[in-house]
């Protein structure tokens, strides 16, 4: 896998990420290869799920699109404008159009501020074209299920984790973003609350015409929310496809191993132990060729010398593997 290539990018996409590379300096002049040439796009109104295990670069990808991490190379285009070229004030302006939801709903809220100020923060910074901002804030809070009057004057510690995540979502929606990036938004929540938030996001997508990048390690959650899914491993794209085909016909060996590892799944797959072995290599010194080859039962000599490129195996289903299923 360890796939590169951008043949799958679409012309009319709202957000286009092309050959994104993010590297961090490490000790002894080494480099952490966190994201190594990742390309994907989002059409308007679409939800892209990004899955992978820890260390695959999914969170770094989200943060780099948001420009919370320094982009080493590659481009991020929103509505055709290249965000990677921006800095300082230009970057600050561009960020208006994108909003992010983080994994820890409680830590994402300033404990000493009231919900009113937290949710209004964006319009306080940027202003709004809406005539009555208070009405707009109330409407958004109502859409996330916090319509109760008393909510505005309370502080984050008075809310449960699920309610805090609703506040985070409201804060982002007040800005009417073009793209919403969600980094593991339900991982810290209990199953019953997780279901509430997933249903909420689905409803908001329709109501506000949201375009979402949904980052998660949970393949069942990603299946539920996504129109398309991208599987990542060690900073590379393995497979990117419409959701149905990925789950019905997983083709990359790593995607298959991930799905086979889900406890209690009923997919027609061999035991996970036969699909993956060993441990994640160090991102300081990733394997040559296909980065998954060190754990792949199908690996051949070719996989060590030549990096596979994303290839369309069926319509809208791209796989970067020399020996796909």
Partner 1 sequence: MALVEPGPTGVKTAAEAVAAVDHPPADRSSRQLGVLFWFAAGWILLLVICAVFRDLLPFRDPDALGIRTREVRKFEDPSWNAWFGGDGQGRDQFARVVQGARPALIIGITVTLIGGFIGSAIGVTSGYLRGKVDTATTVVIDIFLAFPGLVLLIAVRASFGNSMLVFIVLFSITSIPGYARIVRGASFALSERDFVDAAEAMGATKRRVLWKELAPNVAIPVLSFAFIGFALVIVAEGGLAFIGLSLDEVTWGKLIAEGTGDIKDHAHVSLIPATVMFLTILAFNLAGDSIRRLYSPREVATQRRLRVEGIADVNPDGSVLHISDLYTTLHTPAGDVHAVDGVSLSVRAGQALGVVGESGSGKTMILRSIVGAFALSDVTRSGTVEVAGVDMLRAPRGQVLRTLGTEIGMVSQNPLTALNPVRRIESQIIEPMMVHRGTSKAQARERALELLRLVGIPAPERRLREYPHQLSGGMRQRVTIAIALANEPKLLLADEPTTALDVTVQDQILRLLSGLQQEREMAMVLVTHDLAVVKGFTDSVAIVYGGQVVEYGPTSEIFANPRHRYTVALMQSMPDLDLPSHSELITIDGSPPSLLRPTPGCRFAARCPAAQDVCHSLTPAASERDDHWFRCHFPAEITPVSVGAPADSEAD
Instruction: Tell which positions 27-56 bind partner 1, by CB under 8 A.
Output: 53-54
| Secondary structure (3-state) at 91 | helix
- Report if residue 10 touches partner 1, rule: CB under 8 A: no
- Choose one: 17-25, 33-41, 98-106, 285-293; the region binding partner 1 (CB under 8 A): 98-106
- Report if residue 241 touches partner 1, rule: CB under 8 A: no
Q: What part of residues 179-218 is at the interface with partner 1 (CB under 8 A)?
A: 187-188, 190-196, 198-199, 202, 217-218
Q: What part of residues 116-135 is at the interface with partner 1 (CB under 8 A)?
A: 121-122, 125-126
Backbone angles phi, psi at 11, to 5 degrees: -70, -40
Applying CB under 8 A, what is the total number of residues that bind partner 1? 78
Q: Residue 203 is encoded by which pair of tokens?
A: 């409803």
Q: What part of residues 277-296 is at the interface with partner 1 (CB under 8 A)?
A: 279-280
C-alpha span between 207 and 143 (Å, rounded): 9
In whole angstroms, the minimum distance from the beta carbon of 177 to partner 1 comes to: 10
C-alpha span between 188 and 48 (Å, rounded): 20
Cβ distance to partner 1 smaller for residue 279 or 301: 279
- Choose one: 14-22, 106-114, 133-141, 299-307; the region binding partner 1 (CB under 8 A): 106-114
Q: How do strand 81-82 and strand 98-101 relate by DSSP bridges?
A: unpaired
In whole angstroms, the minimum distance from the beta carbon of 148 to partner 1 comes to: 14
- Report if residue 110 touches partner 1, rule: CB under 8 A: yes
Nearest Cα neighbor of 178 from 58, 80, 45 is 45
In whole angstroms, the minimum distance from the beta carbon of 244 to partner 1 comes to: 7
In whole angstroms, the minimum distance from the beta carbon of 247 to partner 1 comes to: 7
Q: What part of residues 251-280 is at the interface with partner 1 (CB under 8 A)?
A: 257-258, 260-267, 272-273, 276, 279-280
String marking each residue 56-95 x if it binds partner 1 according to CB under 8 A: ----------x-x-----------------------xx-x
- Number of other residues whose CB lies within 10 A of the CB of residue 314: 12
Q: E strands within the chain?
A: 15-25, 31-42, 47-51, 73-78, 81-82, 98-101, 179-183, 212-216, 228-233, 236-242, 311-314, 317-319
Angle at 195 (CA atoms; ends 115, 104), nearest 5 degrees: 45
Q: Report CA-CA distances (Å) from 160 to 106, 164, 188.
A: 8, 6, 11
């Amino acid at each position: 896998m360890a796939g590169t290539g951008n043949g799958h990018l679409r012309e009319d996409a709202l957000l286009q990420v092309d050959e994104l590379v993010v590297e961090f300096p490490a000790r002894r002049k080494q480099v952490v290869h966190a994201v190594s040439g990742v390309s994907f796009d989002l059409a308007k109104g679409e939800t892209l799920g990004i899955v992978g295990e820890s260390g695959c670069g999914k969170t770094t990808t989200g943060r780099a699109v948001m420009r919370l991490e320094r982009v080493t190379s590659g481009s991020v285009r929103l509505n055709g404008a290249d965000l990677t070229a921006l800095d300082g004030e230009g970057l600050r302006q561009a960020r208006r159009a994108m909003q992010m939801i983080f994994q820890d709903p409680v830590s994402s809220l300033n404990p000493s501020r009231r919900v009113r100020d937290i949710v209004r923060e964006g319009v306080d910074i940027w202003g709004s074209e809406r005539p009555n901002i208070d009405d707009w804030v109330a409407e958004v809070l109502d859409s996330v299920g916090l319509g109760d009057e008393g909510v505005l004057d309370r502080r984050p510690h008075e809310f449960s984790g699920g309610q805090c995540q609703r506040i985070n979502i409201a804060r982002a929606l007040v800005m009417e973003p073009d793209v919403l990036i969600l980094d593991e938004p339900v991982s810290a929540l209990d199953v019953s609350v997780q279901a509430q938030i997933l249903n909420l996001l689905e409803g908001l997508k329709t109501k506000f015409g949201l375009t979402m990048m949904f980052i998660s390690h949970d393949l069942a959650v990603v299946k539920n929310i996504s129109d398309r899914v991208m599987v990542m491993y060690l900073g590379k794209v393995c497979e990117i496809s419409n959701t149905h085909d990925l789950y019905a016909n997983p083709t990359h060996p790593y995607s298959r191993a991930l799905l086979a590892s889900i406890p209690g799944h009923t997919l027609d797959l061999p035991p996970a132990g036969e699909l993956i072995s060993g441990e994640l290599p160090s991102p300081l010194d990733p394997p040559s060729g296909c980065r998954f080859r060190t754990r792949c039962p199908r690996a051949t000599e070719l996989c060590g010398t030549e990096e596979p490129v994303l290839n369309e195996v069926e319509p809208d289903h791209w796989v970067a593997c020399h020996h796909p299923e």
